[in-house]
Each structure stands twice: as structure tokens, then as C-alpha cells.
Amino acid sequence: MTNDKTIRIEPVTRLEGHGALTITLGAGNKVKDVQFNIGSTRFFERFLVGRPMEEVPRIAPRICGICPEPHHLASVKAVEAAWGVKPPPAAIKLRRLLIESKQLSSHAIHFYALAAPDFVFGPFADPSVRNVAAVLKYMPDVAVQAIKIMEFGQELCRDVGAKAIHPVTAIPGGMLNSLTEEERDKWLKAVPQLLENVQKTVDLAKTVVKAYIDVITKVAVTPTYYVGLSNKGVLDIYDGTIHVMDPNGTMVADFEPKDYTKYWGEHVPDHSYATHIYYKPAGYPDGIWRANTLARCNIAEKMATPLAQAALKEMRDLVGRPSHHTFAYHYARIVELVQAAESIKKLLEDPDIVCTDVKLSDVTPRAGEGVGVVEAPRGTCLHNYECDDEGIVTKANIIVATNHNVGGIEKSLMDAARLIFEQDGLKKLRLPEPLVKT
């Protein structure tokens, strides 16, 4: 019989997936253990077996309804790698447009609906107002600008992928549908307003960062490794090699996706159905890494577009490189939001984007193994399939963004819990007046 106190928060809200939090406090409020309990899983790796491999890109998006595009694309890339297929260049551009559109809407929704309520109303506001519905009520202008960005991203996903949630157009060998000139023109016309709304988001984010700088630099500053794609030093969410940065900021690995099993270990915790991926050469828990926005921004030498590059520079001036500040994830999200908007503009301006030569007609299955990787908004998304000579799946391994992050989330929650329970640190933090009082 111990006198340990257990705090259980269930469910962890404003997060997709089934999460609960279990914090164990010992004598003198010493934080003994922090568990992030993910309470379900669906066993895709098993039930993909036996399916014709070209059908897997239709199944895989259903791993996550918030980020189905990265799964659709990592999946189709894995099939193409296994069958030795190279889709036409215009198809790749459409796929890039699809994933950038998702990046745009996902980052906007995360910032405005999941994160901003805490900053705008203050972390101690009543739960009934600390949510996006209240943003709608008290700050309608901000809400409308948020919705407009999300709408742009989701509706453009729909034009390219046919369904924004569980897209259907990518197929081994290319895309089943192209973008019409009318569609392209409609989106090009909407771009200036998008850029304006993105700029307003940047401004709001900067205000918030300034106001909460004490929180950002003191709460959950958690050194870890970082993992992410980078294309010859440039932040790229569709293609590249996988990079690993150590907690000191040294790049310790840079490898082709197909070699991932050499570097990626998968720790199975006793207390969660979401496994923890980590840097295998360093062992567990030393090799715990994080993915997602901050990881990619730490890893990138530079951004792909000019305004995003300027934003990255500003961020680095404030939090350095590497930044271990968990709350800087929100800042990095905004840097990437800018890159997504600029990339969309560039892709839409490319004449190839309406090219109709987007699908090969002579794709033939063969026995083999393929790995497909893209960056989902929350981190590196990897699909690895093996098939027989008819192209029927014999084995599948899938690693989703969450798996890279849960180890790091537990670590940063531990840091936050110590500050709160052991050092009574919340009282000492300088918190600004809420931007909006309710």
C-alpha cells in the first residue's frame, strides 16, 4: 500500500485519437510517473494482408480522418517503390498540391481550433469557453479568417483528391483525375485573399508569442532528438531523405526511406497502444525523438519559399536552433503554414498543373517491397509493404506521426508536471491578461 496519488485526465481533449493522462505523485508531490495512455488501435498492419496492393491507397487514408492525404500518398509511393513505377511529373505536382493543401488546412485548424483557445482566453478560463465555439462568439473576425484558410485547404484537397476526407485519386502510376483549367483559375483568383489571411495569422501568432514568451521559454523545454524529411536541406513534405538531429543540434543521420529499420526502433510501452518510435542507435529512452512542425523546422537548413524563410529566421532569432521548447511547436506551425500557402500559389501558377498526362497505363505488379514516406502535418508518415508477384500484400508496417511523438509528449509532460507539482511553478510564471475576457 503506497500513499501515491494518481491523477487521471480522460479523455485528453482537443486532440485526435483516444488519449488519457495518468500522473502519479509520491510523497511531497514528487512526480513519479507520467503516462500518456492511448487506448485503442485498429490493426491495419494485419488486415492489409491479402489485399491487392493498388487498393491499399484507398484503405490507408482511413488511418486518420484529420490527415488522410499523407496516408493516401505515402501508401501510393510505397506501392510504386515496390513495383518500380515512376509516375509522370505532372502527377507528382498534383500530389504535391494535395499534400500542401492538407498542410494548410491542418495547420490552420490546429492553431485556431486546438491551440488558440488556451492563449486567447487564457489557460484557466472555464472549459465551456476555452474552445473554438467561443472564438466564434467573442472574436468573429478571427474566426472567419480561420475558417477561410481551412476552407481553402479542404476544398482544394477536394478538387484534387475528390474527397477531402479519404481522397481517392492517387493510383500506382499517377493520378486518376487531373485539375481542369476552370478549377485552376478559380483557385488562383482566391490566392491573394489566402495570403492576406495567412499574414493576419502570422501577426496574431506573433502577438501571442510575445505575450506568452515566459511560458514558451520555461514550460516543457524538453531536449530530444528530432526526425523529419528534408530535401537537400530544404523543408519538403512530399519527398526527400530522412534526417535525425540529436539534442545538441548535430545531424546524426541522413538516409533513404527504404533503410528506415536500421535507424527506427519501436518501443512498446506497457501503458499505451500507441508504440513509441525512437532513434535506434541511441536506445530507449535516450533515443526518444519528436517529429512534427518544430522537428522539421529544427532539421531544415532553409524553407522552400521566401516568406516562410523570413518567418523561420525570425523564429530562430527568438528560440534558437535546435529549439526544444514544446510551445514553439505552435510557432513552427505558423512558419510551415506560410510555406504551404506559398507553395500552393507556385504550384497553381505552374502550367503543368492542368496537364492531363497524369497516369501511366502499363503498370504491372511484381513481387517486392516498397517504402513510401511523406511528412504529415504532425510528423513523418511511413508505409512499408511487401507483396507477391500478383501484387497481393504479404506484409505491412505502418508508422504514423503520433508514434514519433508520444515518447516526447510524455517527456515534456513530465517536465511540465514537475514544474507544476514540485515547484509550484505555475504561480511564478508571468501570464499575460487573456486577449479576450469572457
Answer yes or no whether residue 62 interacts with ligand SF4 by CB under 6 A.
Answer: yes
* Distance in angstroms (rounded) separating the CA atoms of residues 160 and 164: 9
**Close Cβ partners of 102 (under 8 Å, ≥ 6 residues apart):** 67, 68, 69, 70, 153, 157, 377
Does position 18 interact with ligand SF4 (CB under 6 A)? The reply is no
Say whether residue 140 binds ligand SF4 (CB under 6 A).
Answer: no
347 lines the binding site for another protein (CB under 8 A): no
Tell which residue, 69, 110, 130, has the closest CA to residue 375: 69
Q: Return the number of the residue (67 or 341) whose C-beta is nearest ligand SF4.
A: 67
End-to-end Cα distance, the chain? 45
Rg of the Cα trace of the chain? 22
Smallest separation, CB 100 to another protein (Å): 18
Q: Which is nearer to ligand SF4, 11 or 65 (CB)?
A: 65
Q: Which is nearer to another protein, 148 or 330 (CB)?
A: 148
Q: What grid cell was written down for 165?
A: 476526407
If binding is defined by CB under 8 A, does position 177 make contact with another protein?
Answer: yes
Count of residues near another protein by CB under 8 A: 91
Cα 39 from chain centroid? Answer: 20
Among candidate residues 436, 426, 425, the one with its CA nearest the CA of residue 207: 436
The entry of ligand SF4, another protein, none that residue 142 binds, CB within 5 to 8 Å by partner kind: none
The site partner of 301 among ligand SF4, another protein, none (C-beta below 5 to 8 Å per kind) is: none
Instruction: Give DSSP secondary structure letters for 192-261.
Output: HHHHHHHHHHHHHHHHHHHHTHHHHHHSSB---EEEEEEBTTB--SSS-EEEEE-TTS-EEEEE-GGGHH
Cα 397 from Cα 126, distance rounded (Å): 42
Q: Which three cell numbers stand for residue 275?
A: 508504440
Nearer to ligand SF4, 167 or 322 (CB): 167
Query: Site map for ligand SF4, 291-330, x if CB under 6 A?
Result: ----------------------------------------
Site string for another protein, 271-300 (x = CB under 8 A): xxx-x-x--x---x----------------
Residue 127 touches which of ligand SF4, another protein, none (Cβ within 5-8 Å per kind):
another protein
Binds 2, which of ligand SF4, another protein, none (CB < 5 to 8 A, cut-off by type)?
A: none
CA 144 to chain centre: 24
Q: Considering only residues 39, 65, 140, 320, which one is a binding residue for ligand SF4 as defined by CB under 6 A?
A: 65
36 vs 331, beta carbon nearer another protein? 36
Residues lying near ligand SF4 in the complex (CB under 6 A) are found at 62, 65, 165
